[in-house]
Chain A
Amino acid sequence: MENKNVISIKNLVKRFPVGGDYFTALQQVNLELSEGEFIGLVGPSGSGKTTLLNIIGGLDSATDGSVSVLRNSMENTSHNKRAEIRRKHMGFIFQSYNLLPVYTVYENVELPLILNNLEKTERKRKVTRAVEWVGLTDKINSKPADMSGGECQRTAIARAIVHEPALLLADEPTANLDAENSHNIMKILSKLNSEISTSFVFATHDEKIMGYLKRIIHLEDGKIINDEKISKPKSS
């Protein structure tokens, strides 16, 4: 696999105003992520992992430092350009799935393709494949309210990967799931990582999924305290 930089972060600082003061969520964070990596931002609550994920995803801005994602400097990018980067090149998986409740599995997965103006036949082909990947073909016409947590998260994964993004960001994807579903989800994601060139970044503190990660970045009080490459993850 060619070693291209997908994410390049230098001296990132993020502060949030709290009352009349500031809370520093991230300080002097430096991080490089190459194409096809499968990494976890790991740390306790409040360590800054979700904030870092949001900044990488362009959902939030850095207070200081530089963030380059897919060769786009995020600090100098407009809202619309960031939205375009997310739409074309990123996928998101959320802890609480964030599926649109009135849509079926098919419609939820189809949504990113509609936003990217794909033709209906092309959309159908891609949605069918993505739903197959996550093993939800038999639930394709179900709505989130009629599905289990694991099925909802698999739908969210299908939605995140349907347009084969260069970067997939997952915020606590297994936090609401039991052990069995957590392992199933991680197996699906590991398999996808090996089959497509998408880079994966997880924000998690779930011990169950650590074994699947190929690189673990430990965060504490907004700082990277350890950057560990795993030689033999579970998926390999």
Chain B
Amino acid sequence: MLFNIAIKNLFGAKLRTSLNVFVTSISFFLVIFVSGMYDGMREHAKNITIETEVAGGTYWHPEYDSMDPRTFEDSHSIIPSHIKKLIDQKSAFGVLVSQASIYPNGRIMPVIMKGITPDQNIVNMPTSVLDKHNDISIPVLIGSGMAENANLKVGDTFTIRWLDADRTYDADEGTVVHIMETENFKLDLGHIWIPLSKAQSMLAMKDQATYVTYSKDLTKIKDSGNWIHHDVDYMIRDMEALIKADEPGAQVMYSILLALAAMGIFNAQVLSIFRRGKEIGTLMALGMTRSRVVGLFTLEGGLNAFLAGIITLILFGPILLYFGTNGIPLPMDYTEMGLLVAKRLVPIYSISLIISTTVLISIIVLVVSYIPSRRITKMKPTDALRGRAAT
């Protein structure tokens, strides 16, 4: 009985229902969209680290600590044989890390110089551009952030100074052969990339490397000598820790969005229910019990949320899908700020996000339908009949 009356009320009051449903569906859309953007941003940061840096995992020289440049000087050795086999099979590549200084346009800049195998295709870096430059002393690949900071462009030359294995300072001329666009600032800012063989000869570290990165389809080998295996989880642990540390922030943001949505829905629902005080009084005069009146209005709220879900799907679904597929261009490059934020942010709408948002907004609609109707039914029916607002 209540369901039939609720349906009749909803479809009878076209304007009122349209407004309520529209406000609720906008809330659905905004919460899903903004939370999706946030999730997309976090997921992107993780993915970009894996795609451009970590791949399947790495083997590190025991002295190497990527966060401590002082360890670079001693963190190199001949690659253990079993790991070397992976490189020979093109399933891994080595990187030799050292500190260096560059002198672009007469300025001195400390950098991390990394020698990398040019023909690798394990991480998403355009290292192949370092190959076939026999006429250039040191071909250099840099990121766009580094290029901007050092005021360098393709073809520019600058002096590179480094300390070799014999603890002798040496210098030569580097030439920018390519400026890469990367969203991973860790490959860009303060980094110069040169061919591995060149780095090995410059540093007098023949066949040596600091770490080896292997492809995603490989698993850990049994014997990696004294080199230490770090899997993807370890390599992105800082990112995971950041994301975990950011969870309360994400929850606060989600709560704020929900609160804003709740306020919008509350306003629309309360206004419509309080305006229907006389109708509630009439229903009570016709013999509807208080609990049934509350049930009716709460049911209307529930149906409202259901309709809003459908409208969100129809009206905003294509928009969500479009941005979920094509992403949203961001107005500025956040990598310069040392943030792993995509230049084109792709929102991620997880099933849990959609379900939790739907459930929470439905609960909000039910609550904001229940509270004012309960309040009105607690009024004397005679006051409700006169259309007096509940206080």
Contacts and interface: CB of A to CB of B under 8 A. Distances in A.
A114 B4 contact: yes
A112 B286 contact: yes
Tell me the dominant secondary structure on chain B's binding face.
Answer: helix
Interface residues of A, number: 28
Q: Which of B279, B287, B289, B380 has the most CB of A within 10 A?
A: B287
A121 B290 CA distance: 28
Nearest to B15: A102
A192 B281 CA distance: 26
Q: Which of A92, A98, A112 has the most CB of B within 10 A?
A: A98
A127 to B, nearest CB: 14
Contacts of A101: 13
A84 B8 CA distance: 23
Given A87-B286, A111-B286, A60 B1 contact: no
A100 B1 CA distance: 17
Nearest to A112: B286
A114 B25 CA distance: 31
Contacts of B284: 59, 83
B1 A114 contact: yes
A102 B288 contact: no
B289 A83 contact: yes
A100 B285 contact: no
Given A59-B380, A59-B385, A103-B12, A98 B278 contact: yes
B382 A60 contact: yes
B286 A107 contact: no
A88 interface: yes
Contacts of B5: 111, 114
Give the interface size bracket for B toward A: 20 to 34
A115 interface: yes
A193 B379 CA distance: 33
Q: Which of A90, A112, A115 has the most CB of B within 10 A?
A: A115
Contacts of B287: 83-88, 90, 112, 115-116
Interface in A172-212: none
Contact of B289 (A80, A98, A102): A80
Contact of A59 (B9, B279, B288, B381): B381
A103 B6 CA distance: 12
A235 to B, nearest CB: 26
Contacts of A3: none
Interface string B176-213: 00000000000000000000000000000000000000
B290 A79 contact: yes
Interface of B: 1, 4-5, 8-9, 12-13, 278-279, 281-282, 284-291, 380-382, 385
Interface of A: 54, 57, 59-60, 79-80, 83-88, 90, 92, 94, 98, 100-103, 107, 111-112, 114-117, 159
